Amino acid sequence: MISIPIQNFYPDDASICFGCGRNNAHGLHIQTFWTGEEGISDFRPQPYHTGWPGYVYGGLLASLIDCHSIGTAIAAMYQAEGRAPDSEPQIRCVTGTLHVVYLQPTPIEAGIHLRTRIKSLTGRKAVLETVLTANERECVRAEVIAVRVKEG
Amino acid sequence: MISIPIQNFYPDDASICFGCGRNNAHGLHIQTFWTGEEGISDFRPQPYHTGWPGYVYGGLLASLIDCHSIGTAIAAMYQAEGRAPDSEPQIRCVTGTLHVVYLQPTPIEAGIHLRTRIKSLTGRKAVLETVLTANERECVRAEVIAVRVKEG
């Protein structure tokens, strides 16, 4: 388990993402911890992150899945190349597709926990599957395709 | 074309959604205008709604698609029942699935335009297809399944 979130290794100029940028004062500051096998993320929603009363806004859940999946893909790609996430060249990915299945409403008073595993990693493309739980109940399942951006 | 956004007909207590709630002071205030055939939404991102520098955050785009698709589904359901959106019983929907395909980065300096059409409307379920453009270029395509919540 790496104790530093993968987003902390993103270069300063790219760390302004509303979802996961450490330098975005208005953002969500989503963090991804890579265990060597999967990505883990925890998020505590604010009361204003509501959808229908009592439940977390689905767009926020999609946002968590988006950034956390990309973070997990990047961490896995560094590992696949046998090098540390602060080594060059930097790896960047973008989201190709985001598919979210809302299984049941996510209670807003609970913390949100995401576990993301690599389904496949081939060439510049990673397919990631996320299980999102709150109060230890599975609320959302998602699949993201992450695409590595060419350097330069 | 209805000149009032469908979200303005949502009941006060349900209008706290971070995406589209008119009573959420922190929210995005997404609005859906129903033409009678499709839902239209326009959104001007803030500079802090960035993903990678220069482009809109994908999670924000997913959020726009989520609320706007639900709004479009609700408007279409009222129309299918031949009644106005301020009539009883109120129609509410939740998102069953959200599938977003990012075709190209969405420039952050442009306004975002969404057009959502009804692919099917059967029973409590609507399937909606959205085309998202910026600077008149198609950047994102999405499909949402909206599920009507039973009254009471």
The structural domains of chain B, with segments of one domain joined by +, span 6-148
Give the pLDDT confidence score for residue B118 in this predicted structure.
98
Tell me the shortest Cα–Cα distance from B56 to chain A, in angstroms. 9
B103 touches A at CB < 8 Å: no
Dihedral sign from CA coordinates of A41, A58, A28, B106 = positive
On whether the CB atoms of residues B51 and B130 are closer than 8 A, the answer is: no
- Do the Cβ atoms of B13 and A53 come within 8 Å? yes
Cβ partners under 8 Å of residue B106, min gap 6:
B55, B56, B61, B112, B132, B134, B139, B140
Question: Around Cβ B125, how many Cβ atoms within 10 Å?
Answer: 14
User: Nearest C-alpha of chain B: how many angstroms from A102?
Assistant: 5
Select the CATH number that applies to the domain covering B6-148 from these four: 3.30.470.20, 3.40.50.1100, 1.10.3720.10, 3.10.129.10: 3.10.129.10
Whole-number average pLDDT of chain A: 96
Contacts of A95 in chain B (CB under 8 A): 58, 100, 102
- The closest CB to that of B98, out of A53, A64, A100, belongs to A100
Give the span between the Cα atoms of B32 and B41, in whole angstroms: 5
Q: Give me the pLDDT at residue B130, please.
A: 98
Residue A115 predicted with pLDDT over 80: yes
Give A141 to chain B, closest Cα distance, Å. 10
Q: Tell me the two tokens of residue A92.
A: 């960047």
Do A53 and B27 make contact, defined as CB atoms within 8 angstroms?
Answer: no
Cα B59 to Cα A90, B31, B128: the distances in Å are 23, 17, 19
pTM: 0.97
Q: Is the ipTM of this complex over 0.85?
A: yes
Q: Residue A1: is its pLDDT beyond 70?
A: no
Per-residue model confidence as pLDDT tens digits over A27-80:
999 999 999 999 999 999 999 999 999 999 999 999 999 999 999 999 999 999
A62 CB within 8 Å of a chain B CB: yes
Q: What is the pLDDT along chain B (152 residues), one digit of tens a residue?
A: 678 999 999 999 889 999 999 999 999 999 999 999 999 999 999 999 999 999 999 999 999 999 999 999 999 999 999 999 999 999 999 999 999 999 999 999 999 999 999 999 999 999 999 999 999 999 999 999 999 999 86
User: In the predicted model, is pLDDT for residue A14 greater than 90?
Assistant: no
- The answer to whether A121 touches A76, Cβ cutoff 8 Å, is yes
